[in-house]
Structure 1
Amino acid sequence: MRMQDKVVLITGSGTGIGKAAALRLAREGATIIATDIDPAGARATAQAVESLGARAMALPLDVSSEDQWKQVVEEALAAFGRIDVLFNNAGIWIIKALAETTLEEWNRLMSINVTGTFLGMKHVMPSMARQGKGSVINASSVAGLVGAAGNALYGASKGAVRLLTKDAAIEYASLGVRVNSIHPGLIQTAMADYASATMRASQEELGQRLAPMGRVGKAEEVSDLVLFLASDESSYITGAELVVDGGLTAR
């Protein structure tokens, strides 16, 4: 199997893309460390992984807390001895005009989307470097590549993740650790529900409007990309940005 004997830590794994990735990688033999700010969500994902016959551990994690990151990494290494893959997936989305965005909203979103990604890399990548191998996958977005009205806060955070990924990739390339970013378009998750409500259009309408392929993507379609980057099949890919958006950014 493509992920046999690999230990994978996933943030925001209770729902959406994080959960889909956990199940996809588990089917390929991975051991999953499911983390989420909602402990019940992390446990549910871990149980679903175990039902597939794979090993799993569920841990609560607020990605904006350095103390919690230290605890999660310590427990993961104590339980499994290594972390081969880190999928920094946790994030939130706020659609709001720039002038109407509060400092509190800015700080909260940045603490999760950017600081959370930074802390994950800071505390996981040294152990990968010591073992001489690892793959980090950071969830950015098409919003980190192209602009849109009402997206200044979210776009800024995802643009930061994009460049943070490239900088870390260069820093760790000689140590055997690969770092790449993925850039989903509109995917069938709670974020798409939020976008649909905010824009007062159904997901079907948004997919037809935004993506040349004429539909919203599926979380499983993103998890297939995560699997590729997590596996040794992408062994010569680092510092890259991979788009999964139905053609949205091609416009």
Structure 2
Amino acid sequence: MTPVLALAGAGDMATAVAVRFAATHTVVVGDPRAANRAVTVEAVRAAGGTATEVPLDVTDPDQLAAFRATCAEAGTVTALLVAAGLGPVQATPARIVEVDLLGVVRVVEVFADVLAPGGAALVISSIAGHYLGPVAPEVEGAWAHLPFEELGAHPELSAEALADNPSLAYMRAKRAVQLRVRAAAGPWGARGVRINTISPGVIDTAMGREELASPHGAGMRMLLDAAPLPRVGTVEEVASAAAFLLGPEAAYITGTDLIVDGGSVATALLPPAPAT
């Protein structure tokens, strides 16, 4: 049967990844925005591939079930890219947790038995999860292992704990996603399937440009200026890393997070040199 790439989210980075798979996979594009779906489908077809689209809000169980069914009917699902997410300037803290964490986890759980042995899943996270700072081990353990029905009720993800702070919600959601994927690697591996996250830095996407133009933009530019490679990244650079993690060359890589950010996290979180 035809290999299928299931695309849960159709932003700029996801489109770049889909184009890389156009020659080998049928691409099923799920996104809540018809315009985004159309752009991705057209890009895949322009690259000589086959694509179909399905309305998909990852927080809607019925739409997710329909997306899963469409992917399974299209062929053998060998790759899943979860690229759904909202940035701090786009949504409230509650909605960010609902989409970036709970919606993403829902996709991962629904597709756990859909991917064929030898296949791989990749969740787009963010370097924001690495900038969250120290988190108590019991909190990280809860984020990693709580049943889905209890995860959204965790105290650190409540409206009170997030204090109307979308950036904090975004950082906690992305850290929690990284932990959920690490926890999923064991049971997924038992079925012969890999799962990883990728954490892009500041990338030249519509959301990235919106963030740079926001009140947070000055801080983001400081991180860029201090990085070993002091520039904004491109969607093609993220797509190259994503295609690697989803492909056979990464057959021995699972449960990990690949940071694609020009070295900003490595520099910002490097311990200071000892005093001389």
Q: If the length of structure 1 is used for normalisation, what is the TM-score?
A: 0.86
1:145 is aligned, of 130, 136, 141, to 130
Report deviation, 1:206: 5.5
The separation in 2 between residues aligned to 1:201 and 1:229, in whole angstroms, is 30
CA deviation after TM superposition for structure 1 residue 243, in Å = 0.6
Whether the 8 Å contact between 1:207 and 1:215 is mirrored in structure 2 is no
CA–CA distance in 2 between the matches of 1:240 and 1:10? 20
Q: In structure 2, do the counterparts of structure 1 residues 203 and 30 end up closer, same or farther at CA, with 3 Å as the change threshold?
A: farther
How far the C-alpha of 1:86 sits from its partner, in A, is 0.8
SS in 2 for 1:7: strand
- 1:207: how far off? 6.6
Verify: 1:67 aligned to 2:62, yes or no.
yes
Kindly indicate whether the alpha-carbon contact (under 8 Å) linking 1:87 and 1:139 is maintained by their aligned counterparts in 2: yes
Aligned residues: 236
Q: Distance in 2 between matches of 1:205 and 1:70?
A: 40
Q: Which amino acid letter does the alignment assign opposite residue 46 of structure 1?
A: V
Structure 1 partner of 2:42: 47
- Structure 1: which 5+ runs fail to align? 97-103
* Pairing partner for 2:110 from 108, 118, 123: 123
Alignment-mate amino acid for residue 81 of structure 1: G
- Structure 2 gaps of 5+ residues are 134-164, 268-276
Deviation at 1:176, TM superposition (A): 0.5
Residue from 92, 110, 115 that aligns with 2:97: 110
Q: For each residue in 1:42-66, what CA deviation from the matched residue of structure 2 results, as whole angstroms up to 9, or x when unmatched? A: 1221122112211111111001111
Partner residue in 1 for 2:150:
none
1:64-213 alignment, distance < 5 Å: 64-78=59-73, 80-94=74-88, 105-128=92-115, 131-147=116-132, 151-199=167-215, 201=217, 205=221, 208-213=224-229
SS in 2 for 1:145: helix
**In structure 2, what is the Cα distance between the partners aligned to 1:208 and 1:77?**
41
In structure 1, the partner of 2:138 is none
- Measured after TM superposition, the shift of residue 204 of structure 1 is 9.9
Check whether the contact 1:142–1:243 (CA below 8 A) recurs between aligned residues: yes
The Cα of 1:84 is off from its aligned counterpart by: 1.0
- In structure 2, the CA distance between the partners of 1:189 and 1:24, relative to structure 1 (3 Å rule), is same
Query: Take 1:145 and 1:207, find their aligned partners in 2: how far apart are those partners?
Result: 13
Residues 204, 215 of structure 1: 8 Å contact kept: no
Instruction: Give the deviation of 1:18 after TM superposition.
Output: 1.1
Cα distance in structure 2, aligned partners of 1:43 and 1:177: 30
The TM-score, its normalising length taken from structure 2, stands at 0.79
Partners in 2 of 1:43 and 1:246 — Cα distance?
A: 31
Match of 1:99 in 2: none
Q: Secondary structure at 2:21's aligned position in 1?
A: helix
The alpha-carbon distance between structure 1 residues 186 and 89, as it changes in their structure 2 partners (threshold 3 A), is same
Whole-Å separation in 1 of the counterparts to 2:105 and 2:197: 13
Q: Name the structure 1 match of 2:258.
A: 242
Q: Quick one: distance in 2 between partners of 1:201 and 1:175?
A: 43
- Alpha-carbon distance in 2 for matches of 1:106, 1:205: 23
Structure 1 vs Structure 2 CA RMSD: 2.5
SS for the counterpart of 1:198 is: coil
- Could you tell me whether the CA contact under 8 Å between 2:202 and 2:220 is conserved in 1? no
